[in-house]
Structure 1
Amino acid sequence: MALFDLPLSELRTYRSSATEPKGFDDFWSGTLAAARRAASPPRLTEVTTPLRGITTHDVTFTGYAGQPIRAWLNRPAGVTGPLPVAVEFIGYGGGRGLPIDWLVWASAGYAHLVMDTRGQGGSWRGGDTPDVDDSGAGPSTPGFLTRGVQSPDSFYYRRLFTDAARAVEVAAELPGVDASRLVVTGKSQGGALSLAAAGLVPDLVSAVVSGVPFLCDIRRAVTITDSNPFAEVVRFLRTNPQLAGPVLDTLDHVDVVHFAKRVTAPAIVSAGLMDEVCPPSGVFGAYNELSGDKQIEVYEWDGHDGGRTFFDTAALEFVARHLG
């Protein structure tokens, strides 16, 4: 690792040149409206774990097009009053794993809904939610970033962003939850989903935690890093150069820079200056679009680990200040 991106002094004022696609708001409002029309009530089943201080429920809710999405709901055992709720999204390739993987937010006094990631969970933590939609069939590079990428309608991340927004809507209606104190949180892909969800359903989100977010300033990112997942796009276009136009247009529809403009909640973000997976210019490109109370934690010597538990601690303190 090395410092390969813009110097910090330039990052602090950097503005992305990403152009918002025509009809962006209509595309996403229509997608969410269809998901809501197809929605069914969530199902919660209490599960037994060795964790004595935490109660866990296995949750199934409906995401994109009414398709089932799994989640865990952890909450402090024995607490009856309405709790603030944190909705967490997972990094690239991982799934929801086991309840014991998710102790921080419940330990801090929150109800904690952890959304499984459709079709993922085969890389570093297991998952339980298939991507049942086959509209993304067609050429793709191994991974998820080019799955259905020839059209915004068929793109994998259209489904995943919709799942994230629906997770927030479902969390706000869970029993024993104080919906006026709702946090979205995640790192990498999860950080991107946090900002996207906060931009899609801003009225429901009270605070945003976004660690080293993925999918920011995408057109720049694919040209300055050789690391996956952005390198998936390069490999795809190397073998399908005639598709560059529609592919880049599709990616514009999920560029987190555009969602950041719509976030109204206080937000804390982290950036690793040696991060070759999610380049710091992309992180700052999204962060600099945030209009509300915001804070960025910069880790000069970190790569994609982005502050590790130093950032987790700062995030919990930030959220506590804003939620009361």
Structure 2
Amino acid sequence: MPPTHPAPAVPALPDRAPDLAHPFPFAPAHGYDPPRLLAVAPPPEPEGFDAFWRARYAAARAVDPDPVVGPAEGERDGVRLHPVTYASTGGVRTGGWLALPVGGRPARYGFVIGHGYGGRGSAAPDLPLPLPDAAALLPCVRGMGERGRRPGVPDTADAHVLHGIDDRDGYVIGGCVDDLWCAASALLRLVPELAAPGAARLGYAGESLGGGLGALALPWDERFGAARLTVPTFGHHPLRLTLPCTGSGEAVRAHHARHPEVTEVLAHYDAATAATRLRTPTLVAPALFDPAVPPPGQFAVRNALAGPRTPRVLSAGHFTHRGEQAERAALDALGRRFFARWLGA
């Protein structure tokens, strides 16, 4: 669907990272000023990257999502929230929330909303949705969040990110990407007007873990027409392995120090490599200062995007600071204009 709105205006990139007081034994900007961040290129890609992800996508699309919706749990921000479970790959059944327009109105837009490594609690916090009159599935990927926990899969970030990391095909991050694809299948099954001829394609929004998973998922899935990736993780693993952080990447760094052979597995899960294939219009919001997800990896994703790109740079990610609420409000407003443009609102 062609855009019906002008491209959103974005502010100029600051000339340096913010000077924020912090308690960390490393600099969360890692010595990268904005020009150096803009120069971060994607890493060398492994042989068979495309074939690996196309095969995963085909397997996920072959799954019958068999969604089951429970009674409404309440209304807020213009939607009615229901618990939902659905089937994913490997016999996994995970859950989340289904958001539907209040009053039984038909949905004009559909979203899959990814979450960060904090998971999702019982309040389903990722509301309001980016556009009015929208439906959404807010999944908890396998192992994470109140409705994603399952036996044998760790539910803390440091352990979860290492689960299956020595096996390219069994790494939990691949399963989490599958869960996003199957969430889209479940949403289209539950809200059939979203799959009707002429309906707008789906939107995706994800932050941190959800941003990295989105970058890995979206290049292969034609059902999505626009995406927002905020402080995305998993970008440029070779560089990330050299940068200390407080997030899940630190567990990966420690594991890699003992088992350097995981480099080959990580190469197949690099969000920056995937972004070189991502032609879906994308609002990307990396941060200049971030103790949890090193900014060079975030910018590697931003710089590699192959399709229409709307960039918005945040002063800091995963860090409370003065001006954070205003920055987030501006990003949300930009996101509404962005999705309105590319999804035809």
TM-score, length basis structure 1: 0.85
- Between 1 and 2, higher relative CO (CA 8 Å, sep ≥ 6) is seen in 2
Deviation of residue 38 (structure 1)? 4.3
Q: Deviations over 1:212-261 (max 9, x none)?
A: 001111120121223221110222234x2xx212x111111111112212
- Is contact 1:75-1:106 (8 Å) kept? no
- Which has the larger displacement, 49-58 or 83-92? 49-58
Matched, 1:145 2:169: no
Mark the CA change 1:57 to 1:189 in structure 2 (over 3 Å): closer, same or farther: same
Query: 2:133 maps to which residue?
Result: 109
Q: Structure 1 residue 4: deviation in Å? A: 2.3
Equivalent-residue separation in structure 2 for 1:185 and 1:107 (angstroms): 12
Q: Does 1:285 align with 2:305?
A: no
Deviation at 1:26, TM superposition (A): 2.3
Check 1:257–1:53 CA distance in 2 against 1; reply closer, same or farther (3 A cut).
closer
Q: Which ranges of structure 1 fall in alignment gaps of 5 or more residues?
A: 122-126
Q: CA RMSD in A?
A: 2.5
1:230 corresponding residue in structure 2: 249
Number of residue-to-residue matches in the alignment: 307
Question: Cα deviation per residue 1:127-148 (whole Å; 9 max; x = unaligned)?
Answer: 12234567x9xxx994222111
Which residue of structure 2 lines up, in the alignment, with residue 303 of structure 1? 317
Q: Deviations over 1:89-125 (max 9, x none)?
A: 11013135324x233107733212101121123xxxx
Alpha-carbon deviation of 1:310? 2.7
The percentage of aligned residue pairs carrying the same residue is 26
Q: Is the 8 A contact 1:81 1:176 kept in 2?
A: no
1:219 to 238, 260, 263: 238
1:118 to 139, 142, 147: 142
- TM-score normalised by L of structure 2: 0.80
Q: 1:1-324 alignment to 2 at 5 Å? A: 1=22, 2=27, 3-16=29-42, 18-49=43-74, 51=76, 53-95=78-120, 97-99=122-124, 101-105=125-129, 108-121=132-145, 127-132=146-151, 142-175=158-191, 177-179=193-195, 180-201=200-221, 203-238=222-257, 240=258, 243-245=259-261, 247-300=262-315, 302-304=316-318, 307-324=327-344
List runs of 5+ in structure 2 lacking aligned partners.
1-21
**Structure 2 residue matching 1:186: 3-state secondary structure:** strand
